[in-house]
């Protein structure tokens, strides 16, 4: 699973690296005026929450930093992705996921591998949204597999045979 995440992060980095700096921060009407930078920050910060919560035994995705630099500075975002790439290969461990709902905290038992999978699926989902923005605002070539779940890629491969 770590290898799949790393491959997906590599592809994410490659696509982002092709963007002109101004496109990273340009509002996209097709995404309710959100930017590629905002979607990238969201992806990055969920991984960061998982990594920082690992040692504590509790992950809270609600407590993201919402770091403006990550959404406005493409080079900084790419650095953050590289740090995630290096940090995610950790042994499985029981975790609690904490959510703030209706003025109370809820703890849900989980584990590191399950949360890695959640983050991979979340990454791919946001890549699909980013793909919409990139294709509507640039001529940057995007790999066919960008923003597509591995199970969908496998299904397409089987159908083509």
pLDDT in tens, 101-147: 999 999 999 999 999 999 999 999 999 999 999 999 999 999 989 99
Reported as a single tens digit per residue, the pLDDT across 41-76 is: 999 999 999 999 999 999 999 999 999 999 999 999
Angle in degrees, 0-180, between the axes of helices 2-17 and 74-87, rounded to the nearest 10: 170
Calculate the CA 97 to chain-centre distance.
18
d(CA 45, CA 37): 12
- Rounded to whole angstroms, the Cα distance separating 95 from 50 reads 10
Domain 2-160, what fold?
1.20.120
Domain segments of the chain: what residues?
2-160
């Amino acid at each position: 699973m770590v290898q799949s995440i790393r491959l997906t992060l590599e592809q994410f980095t490659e696509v982002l690296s092709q963007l002109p700096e101004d496109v990273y921060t340009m509002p996209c009407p097709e995404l309710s005026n959100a930017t590629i930078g905002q979607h990238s920050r969201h992806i990055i910060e969920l991984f960061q929450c998982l990594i920082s919560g690992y040692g504590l035994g509790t992950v809270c995705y609600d407590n993201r930093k919402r770091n403006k630099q990550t959404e406005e500075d493409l080079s900084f975002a790419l650095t953050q992705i590289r740090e995630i790439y290096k940090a995610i290969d950790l042994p499985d461990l029981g975790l609690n996921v904490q959510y703030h709902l209706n003025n109370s905290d809820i703890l849900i038992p989980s584990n590191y591998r399950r949360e890695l999978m959640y983050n991979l699926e979340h990454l791919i989902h946001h890549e699909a949204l980013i793909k919409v923005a990139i294709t509507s605002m640039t001529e940057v070539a995007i790999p066919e597999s960008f923003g597509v779940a591995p199970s969908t890629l496998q299904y397409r491969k089987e159908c083509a045979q």
